[in-house]
Structure 1
Amino acid sequence: MDFQQRLRDGALDVDKEDLIGVLTLRFGGVPKDIEEAIRTITDGVQLERLILVAANVPTFERFVEELREGNRAFRMVGDGFNPLSK
């Protein structure tokens, strides 16, 4: 593995930890199956989007819906992304 790939892998690992951290702060924890799903993500753009989603969705269930969308979802609009709505 070359140096650039190690850097990319390291950045992905940091993003995964950040995402799990945001979810833990907002919702009190992350079920094991969701944590495992997060750890399998290899797309940095998807991880960055999910960090924003985690910071803005009003419920953990809404986050899981977005996680299951994979890299097909690309916009965050409407009440589903308002952290103040329930």
Structure 2
Amino acid sequence: MFLFEDEANTVQDREDLLSILKMRFGEIPPKIIESIYDIKAYETLERLILVASNVPSLKIFLEELEEGEGSFRILGDRFNPIEAQYKGGGADGEK
């Protein structure tokens, strides 16, 4: 892939990630948006898109965001997008 294609994919993934977060959790604080724009690794953005699509709360997403580039484990109830419904919680997973 050409360098400009890599950059275009990275830009698109950042926008996709922010769209998913807004759709699932509402308005996103500017500090989180800045953190996402600081990510340069395409693979990290891809992982965070999967995480954002599956976590039951923004809090868990933020924990994964802090993990950085080395993590890729997306397993268990922690990544169940409907867990909050079962526990009677709201969009952030809290009661």
Instruction: Work out whether the TM-score is over 0.5.
Output: yes
2:69 maps to a residue whose letter is: N
- The number of residue pairs the alignment matches comes to 84
Q: Which SS does the other structure have where 1:30 is aligned?
A: coil
In structure 1, the partner of 2:80 is: 82
C-alpha distance in 2, partners of 1:18/1:29? 15
In the alignment, the residues of structure 2 paired with residue 74 and residue 57 of structure 1 have an alpha-carbon distance, to the nearest angstrom, of 14
Residue 79 of structure 1 deviates from its aligned partner by 1.1
| Cα RMSD, aligned residues only | 1.2
2:62 aligned partner, one-letter code: V
Deviation at residue 75 of structure 1 after TM alignment: 1.1
Within a 5 Å distance, the mapping from 1:25-36 to structure 2 comes to 25-36=23-34
Question: Which of the residues 12, 15, 24 maps onto 2:13?
Answer: 15
Would you tell me which structure has more helix in proportion to its own residues? 1
Shift of 1:84: 1.0
Q: Deviations over 1:21-58 (max 9, x none)?
A: 00000001211000000001111111001000000000
Q: TM-score, normalised by structure 1?
A: 0.93
Structure 2, unmatched stretches of 5+, are 85-95
Aligned-residue offset at 1:71: 1.2
